[in-house]
Structure 1
């Protein structure tokens, strides 16, 4: 987006329109901070304090527990404990996130991740509270991880550009729609297993990924509310540039009639093209879905880029 991977990750919060690297950075930072806390509290004999902190970061299935920690519907989707759990989630977030970012822009990528996490948590809580299968474990069950948001991005990318191919080791080029279908099937098959809650959240995130892109193609952005909140916090923490004001003496010209020139310079025509309409964007998205991003003309890519900055 701006430079190399590590440069983008290191400068994630210094750049605007950089949601992919912000999401990666938050997940990685939370992981390492919690690892430090776990080691420190365990060796200092305060392991119970870490367990309490951990519980407050995770999404509880029991509504009575959730009421006293409402923030957990957000914090759970940035919290991992196992190294392979965060590794695979971040790899998929990066690979498929690059695709979504290129087509729809940074803000809509963030919308998709957050909405996927929210819907995944809601489906998890609903199923645990209405299904007899979970009755015995309801009050002890808690969930963590970015998987619901990542599933939303994977399925969203596959809905947006199903025929885009990824080069997979041993398998060669595979269309991303088949990768998404495979992972949704795996989540469904395992939804009655030992990680039932996590798999239900995956399915919720996947459903949101599909619906979000479909609604976007119809001109409806379900993530506007999240986008507004994100812009508010960006502006809140944005470093304000120092403004220097210089005063210049007005020049007075004398001729047969004395006057002071106050005329502004004539504006130059804008080099930018007309702002793309929703109908044009819909046609471009349809073309991407049918033929891939490379089939777009330079003008179509420009229009898509302008739209992604909204």
Structure 2
């Protein structure tokens, strides 16, 4: 009963909340492995700086993002992801979120790899890359670039999103010359670049993540069991009508979402009515 309750609660989470839960679970299991085995299993999943090592574990270009160096590392990453995702998922669906987050992770990882191999003497302070920061930064900068003039409450002040995005990018840029986690800073900037470009292109009607969506769907289909062909049977008119109604409702819902997003792009999020904001929020939770 408890297991069923947990599954139900997990199913109700947004895609971002599920990602946060997965990160926390991996963090706890990694800590348990250190306690029981005396060493971390993250060495198999962290992104190495050397290209030859990376070729031996190519999955690390994604898996590095699920491991963190300590409690404060994962805490701040997950806090930022939670708040940035609340804005993101009021605008777009779970598929867009996955695209931005994991493309940010991948681009951040590639920037880290390239940096270490182009400037090996400058970046000799890190041995490998771990942490979700590149993906989190991609989501944050995406919303800051897509609705830059939208104001949010930070402590006792209202501040525009683009100020927040500029602050985090400048913090990474400023800290690079002083050493210490330079590779990580560059990975953040790689994620930020992806988030910015994705948002601006989407604003123009170009979804640069569509190819990534197709790739994910192709990979997922490989692990799905093949469905057996059902025997021929009569399809009653009532059932067909019901299916048509479902399709019509989905199309109508998507049309309404598109209209609201177009309104946001022209006039900002605050121009929406309470009904439109509630509709976007519910649509994000359903996806």
Equivalent residue number for residue 26 of structure 1: 22
1:191 equivalent in alignment to 2:176: yes
SS at match of 1:98: helix
Q: Within 5 Å, which residues of 2 pair with 1:293-308?
A: 293-296=270-273, 298=275
SS at match of 1:219: coil
1:212 equivalent in alignment to 2:198: yes
What's the offset of the Cα at 1:219?
A: 2.1
Q: Of 32, 36, 43, which residue of structure 2 is paired with 1:55?
A: 43
- Once the two structures are superposed, residues 209-228 of structure 1 have per-residue CA deviations (whole angstroms, 9 ceiling, x without a partner) of 00011111222222224334
Q: Within 5 Å, which residues of 2 pair with 1:153-302?
A: 153-169=139-155, 171-192=156-177, 193-231=179-217, 264-265=237-238, 267=241, 270=245, 272=249, 273=252, 276=255, 280=259, 283-287=262-266, 290-296=267-273, 298=275
Preserved CA contact (<8 Å) 1:120 1:204: yes
1:217/1:41 Cα in 2 relative to 1: closer, same or farther (>3 Å)? Answer: same
SS at match of 2:65: helix
Equivalent residue number for residue 3 of structure 1: none
Q: Of 151, 170, 178, which residue of structure 1 is paired with 2:137?
A: 151
SS at match of 2:148: coil
Distance 2:89 2:224 in 1: 22
* Bigger helix fraction: 2
- Once the two structures are superposed, residues 66-125 of structure 1 have per-residue CA deviations (whole angstroms, 9 ceiling, x without a partner) of 011111101101111310010000000000011111101111111111011111111111
1:78 equivalent in alignment to 2:66: yes
Equivalent residue number for residue 96 of structure 1: 84
Structure 2: stretches of 5+ with no match in the other structure: 226-232
1:172/1:55 Cα in 2 relative to 1: closer, same or farther (>3 Å)? Answer: same
Distance 1:173 1:303 in 2: 22
What's the offset of the Cα at 1:238?
A: 8.6
What's the offset of the Cα at 1:182?
A: 0.4
Runs (4 or more) in structure 1 with deviation over 4 Å come to 7-10, 229-239, 265-271, 277-282, 296-310
What's the offset of the Cα at 1:62?
A: 1.0
Q: Which has the larger radius of gyration?
A: 1
Q: Of 106, 119, 123, which residue of structure 2 is paired with 1:118?
A: 106
What is the TM-score of this pair, normalised by structure 1?
A: 0.73
Distance 1:274 1:21 in 2: 24
SS at match of 1:220: coil
Distance 1:78 1:97 in 2: 17
1:231/1:304 Cα in 2 relative to 1: closer, same or farther (>3 Å)? Answer: farther
Distance 2:198 2:7 in 1: 27
What is the TM-score of this pair, normalised by structure 2?
A: 0.79
What's the offset of the Cα at 1:309?
A: 8.2
- Once the two structures are superposed, residues 282-304 of structure 1 have per-residue CA deviations (whole angstroms, 9 ceiling, x without a partner) of 633413xx432452585798699
Structure 1: stretches of 5+ with no match in the other structure: 1-6, 240-246, 248-261
SS at match of 2:255: coil
The root-mean-square deviation of aligned C-alpha atoms, in Å, is: 3.8
Preserved CA contact (<8 Å) 1:24 1:90: yes
